[in-house]
Amino acid sequence: MAEFHRILHVEDDPDIREITLLALKELGGFDVLQCDNGEDALLRAAAFEPDLLLLDVMLPGLSGIETLIAMRKIPDLAEVPAVFLTSRDVSAQDECDIRDRAIGAIQKPFDPVTLPDQLRRMVAAREPARA
């Protein structure tokens, strides 16, 4: 498994952004770029060169799923593993999209103390990229 250090986190809730930032930077030792919407993430992602995408499913404007679909069209982001943050009110279609497009999902509310290791386990367990 390739090591990963840079996480792009897309979340519209400022409290969740702050908790996630503390967990990933302070506990996990990751370099984190946070965006509060999909459009901003699309503008900034390639320059940041993330090793992992952590996307809220429900965002204003572009949803997390729509944001990921758009990121997959950017060559430097096409193969970056993604993890979704989900709440209980996602539709059945969203659940299928999450399963098909990401290496996993984390249910909100999540435990910030275990978040870095949870992400490491998901990346370690992912299947090799398809050709």
Q: Give the global pTM.
A: 0.89
Q: Is the pLDDT of residue 3 over 90?
A: no
Q: Is the pLDDT of residue 88 over 70?
A: no
Higher pLDDT, 104 or 11: 11
The token duo for 122 is 């998901």
What length is written for the chain?
131
Contact indicator for 123, 52 with CB cutoff of 8 Å: yes
Rounded Cα gap, residues 46 and 119, in angstroms: 21
Mean pLDDT of the chain: 90
pLDDT score recorded for residue 131: 36
pLDDT digits (tens, 9 = 90+) for 59-69: 999 999 999 99
Rounded Cα gap, residues 63 and 37, in angstroms: 8
